[in-house]
Amino acid sequence: MRHQKKTVKLGRTASHRKALIANQVCSLIEHSRITTTLAKAKAVRPVAEKMVTLGKQASLHSRRTALAVLRQKDAVKKLFDEIAPRSASRQGGYTRIIKLGQRKSDSAPLALLEFVDLPQVEEPEAPLEARPATKAKPRKEKPAPAPEEKTGE
């Protein structure tokens, strides 16, 4: 019976699995969204949510606990300085999983894992005059084949 065995093994040893999940969470913190397989996204999500909860506490102990799990100082700094304050008003549910379909090579189900409170980036669209003009190259036309003369043989 499989009682009290919650961890998804992902076909890896315990140390490999911990390193994989830590790296995925660090990538999520760095890029705010990652594309991975559905099974990995479901395994990474609880750890990412716990890290955001630690970031909201903003104590030295929580920072050291996050560093022990993630093992990357830059990711912990960004977590505590940028991501956790964005999610301060939210009580859980900091991430979302969006299914993307299947990967071409092996038909593995893909998913997009992202933070719910993404920073809104608005890029102003340049007016038409300010856009650089693209030069269209003239097409080389092939000479038409000469019509063959029919002989009356």
- CA separation, residue 88 to residues 19, 41, 58, 97 (Å): 28, 23, 11, 20
Cα dihedral sign, 64-66-68-71: negative
Domain limits of the chain?
14-115
pLDDT tier at 124, thresholds 50, 70, 90 = low
Q: How far apart are CA 117 and CA 83, in angstroms?
A: 8
pLDDT tens-digit map of 77-111: 999 999 999 999 999 999 999 999 999 999 999 99
Mean pLDDT over residues 135-139, rounded? 68
What distance in Å separates the CA atoms of residue 14 and residue 16, rounded to the nearest whole number?
6
- pLDDT tens, residue by residue, 1-17: 989 888 899 999 999 99
Is 14-115 assigned to CATH 3.30.930.10? no
pTM of the model: 0.76
- What tens digit of pLDDT does each residue of 19-60 get? 999 999 999 999 999 999 999 999 999 999 999 999 999 999
